[in-house]
Chain A
Amino acid sequence: MDGLKRVPVREQDATERAHNFAEVCLGYDLNEAKAEADRCLKCKNPKCQTGCPVNIDIPRFIGKVSEGDVEGAYRVISEYSALPAVCGRVCPQESQCEAKCIRGIKGEAVSIGKLERFVADYAREHALRPEVNAEKKNQKVAVIGSGPAGLTCAGDLAKNGYDVTIFEALHEPGGVLVYGIPEFRLPKDTVVKSEIENVKALGVKIETNVVVGKSVTIDELLEEEGFSAVFVGSGAGLPKFMGIPGESANGVFSANEYLTRNNLMKAFSEGYDTPIAAGKKVAVVGGGNVAMDAARTALRLGAEVCIVYRRGEEELPARVEEVHHAKEEGVEFKLLTNPKAILVDENGWVKGMRCSRMELGEADASGRRQPMEVPGSEFEFELDTVIMSLGTSPNPLIVSTTSGLEANKRGGIVATDEYGGTTKEAVFAGGDAVTGAATVILAMGAGKAAAKGIDAYLSHRKK
């Protein structure tokens, strides 16, 4: 076996999977996992670990896989992460742990993500659960939002003996894991539900249908409901639109709406009441992971789909793997293309889009080459659906209803230290609510740091 190359992971065939919502990646089996684990060099000074936002002891868990002790590997990962089956699937490993892998200098990095996924799936299939053995502390902590930041923070606090309640605005816990990321990348009933069950098994309570800021305020949680600290992991918030003509036509959706109808409300599935106007000819505007998710969802609902992005392929912010999967499945990429107007029929529905061609100029402050319009290059094409995937801006709800909690100019909650402390005592924050839209694992890292911050704050206060 060629040690320079990783053990390939089995995937559902592209032509087949373009028409179903089953998971694309099929994962390793035990033999494949052991073979891949054997490629690890067990570095004395493991760089991979420094690339992990939650600092998993990667060589130690891979060592256990290599020995065939998958349960042991799961125990190692569980010390650091509450959501390994999620992370093994949606983390951008290629720019984190795997980017630092010494194997990767010459040849391909160890497939750390796929190994993590294998271990987590094995644990689920064998009903292994994380262990709690901390002494109960008589202090209540409220966690707002049950996405990756909230679940991680809640899990870590519960492991430390705190009495934790998560408040979730929607009717299902999971945040972006259930409303945003599609089934074919992250199966809900198996993977997500089971990881949430694991967090609950640590003693965490989850109250759904509570919109903090409306149903109850943070001040009330602290002053009336007996919580000693609050973690805000409320997520990214309001979808952005371009502000071009025709954007309010029927058939124009935010990626959040399109994905929520499909993922959370299961519009794709027979027997669920929520409708979705899936579209026949769909353009997704944007080039991030969410855009790829929306495009691949529309494809599976039977549409012809293109991505419209104003920069070039190299500038696409989505993970390479996602772009690759989208292309394999038949999503067309209209790059260096910028929408100017959405064309609307007499009934108020989308009938097409006017775009102009772009070229890349000098790099701007962010280091990305600035797209510039090619004069006279406007063209039109037919469409019935446009999905805007341009990112989000923070939801002002919590900041505007909490006394003394400050936000920055962009609306994100101001974190005053690396442990998620805010301008308000006893209130901590992390994840997209602070940084604006980012990744699952960064949110988990922030949740983890805040759990430390809350523990330090409450231990100190007791004395």
Chain B
Amino acid sequence: MYEIIDKKRLSDAIVMMEVKAERVAKSCMPGQFVIVKIDERGERIPLTICDYKRERGTVTIVFQTVGASTERMARLEKGDFFRDFVGPLGKSCEWTEEPLAKLSQKKILFVAGGVGTAPVYPQVKWLHENGISADCIIGARTKELVILEEEMSRVAEALYVTTDDGSYGMKGNVNDCIKKLVNEEKKSYDLIVAIGPLIMMKFVCLLTKELGIPTIVSLNPIMVDGTGMCGACRVTVGGEVKFACVDGPEFDGHLVDFDQAMKRQQMYKTEEGRRYLKEREGSSHHGGCGHCE
């Protein structure tokens, strides 16, 4: 059992929890994820790690309520427990392996979309703690969905916020901001790390390919075990099939087949996919649509 030490709502539908998980806290690195399971009957839900405190033995997770399972999770309070909390899973960011002297020569721009800000935060923080500065863009649909701005501003060299509706920060999407930084402000970046919805990562990658800036993305496909056993999380990268849980979750964004990833994502995760599933299955339907009790 893994105790929830602290809980905070970042927006209506986005929840942050600090969870006691000694083994994970001791060994996790930026880029990795955990799988949580609320109780006996819950799903195994993969979540990126937002922060970790090795001395306290805690790991912070952030999630958005998108279905029955995450809604149930959101109702947990401080002092409640997750039945299962396993990790760290996946590979840590490739650049954490580089010698710091070499890494410090690189100028990295992080592009965080919505709840994708959560996995970006520990990366920027890790760099900051190692004396390396990096810029960050947080993009969201509207002001209410901008999360972790204050935390990020403490660790990022320069922080830019964009909202689609212009309710906060710069009006526009993250690509507008990247273009502004690179084309108008003549900033030069050696690497872009983009984490957010698939559609955002796809368009960021289209742009950065044009700009000639190498780009890393982090994928969060459907998973079951998270250790390579089930193959549900397979993605095509550079024409090869990879398992996001063991080969990723981070990949070269210019090689990822985003269209396929988006189709696979639909299966259980989107309302549309769930309805389609129910329709197709008829009498052999066994849940997964998010509508059956």
Which residues of A are at the interface with B, using a C-beta cutoff of 8 A? 169-171, 179, 208-211, 214-216, 237-239, 241, 243, 247-250, 253-254, 256-257, 260-261, 265-268, 271-280, 301-303, 347-349, 384, 395-397
Give complex CA distance A164, B23 in Å.
19
* Interface flag for B207 (CB, 8 Å): no
Q: Please name the 8 residue pairs, one residue from A and one from B, whose CB atoms are nearest each other, closest first.
A: A275-B288, A348-B263, A302-B284, A257-B230, A209-B86, A254-B231, A171-B84, A239-B231
Q: Which of B42, B224, B266 has the most CB of A within 10 A?
A: B224
Closest to A243 in B: B241
Decide if B213 is an interface residue (CB 8 Å cutoff): no
10 A-B pairs besides A171-B83, A273-B287, A280-B282 with CB distance below 8 A are: A171-B84, A179-B225, A210-B86, A238-B229, A238-B231, A272-B41, A275-B43, A277-B281, A301-B284, A397-B228
* Pairwise interchain contact B231-A250, C-beta atoms closer than 8 A: no
Contact of B86 among A215, A239, A275, A303 (CB under 8 A): A215
B132 to chain A, nearest CB (A): 25
Which residues 139-167 of B have a CB within 8 angstroms of A? none
A256 touches B230 (CB 8 A): yes
Q: Is the CB of B281 within 8 A of A347?
A: no
A242 to chain B, nearest CB (A): 11
**Closest partner residue, chain A, to B38 (CB atom):** A273
- Shortest CB distance B260–A (Å): 6
Cβ–Cβ contact B263 & A265, under 8 A: no
Question: Which one, B42, B43, B69, B229, contacts A239 given CB within 8 A?
Answer: B229
| Residue interface bits B241-271, CB-to-A below 8 A is 1, else 0 | 1010010000000000000100110111000
Question: In chain B, what residue has the closest Cβ to A211?
Answer: B227
Determine whether B68 belongs to the interface, using a CB cutoff of 8 Å to chain A.
yes
A228 vs B284: C-alpha distance in the bound complex, in angstroms? 51
Chain B residues at the A interface, C-beta cutoff of 8 Å: 23-24, 26-27, 32, 37, 41-44, 68-69, 72, 83-89, 224-225, 227-232, 234, 236, 241, 243, 246, 260, 263-264, 266-268, 273, 276-277, 280-289
B246 with A395: CB separation less than 8 A = yes
Q: Are A278 and B286 interface neighbours, CB within 8 A?
A: yes
User: Given the complex of chains A and B, what is the CA–CA distance between A342 and B85 in angstroms?
Assistant: 36
Could you tell me the distance between the alpha carbons of A384 and B283 in the complex, rounded to whole angstroms?
Answer: 14
**Given A250-B267, A276-B288: A241 and B84 interface contact (C-beta under 8 Å):** no
| A248 proximity list for chain B (CB < 8 A) | 234, 236, 241, 260, 264
CB-defined contacts of A169 to chain B, threshold 8 Å = 86, 225, 227
Return chain A residues, CB-CB under 8 Å to B289.
Answer: 275
Set of chain A residues within 8 Å of B41, measured between Cβ atoms = 266, 271-273
Residue of A nearest to B288 (CB): A275
A170 to chain B: closest residue by CB: B225
* CB-defined A-B contacts under 8 Å, sample of 30: A171-B44, A211-B87, A211-B89, A215-B23, A215-B27, A215-B86, A215-B88, A238-B229, A248-B236, A250-B267, A250-B273, A260-B229, A261-B224, A266-B41, A273-B41, A273-B72, A274-B44, A274-B224, A275-B43, A275-B277, A275-B288, A276-B288, A277-B288, A279-B284, A280-B283, A301-B284, A302-B284, A347-B266, A348-B264, A397-B227
Known: A238-B231, A273-B42. A209 touches B85 (CB 8 A): yes
Partner of B69, one of A271, A273, A349: A273
Q: What residues of B have a CB within 8 angstroms of the CB of A396 in the complex? A: 246
Q: Which of A208, A237, A349 contacts B229 (CB 8 A)?
A: A237
- Chain B nearest CB from A267 CB (Å) reads 6
Chain B nearest CB, measured from A169 CB (Å): 5
Min CB–CB distance A126 → chain B (angstroms)? 28
A454 to chain B, nearest CB (A): 24
A247 to B228, CA, bound (A): 17
Chain A CB count within 10 A is highest, among B69, B281, B286, for: B286
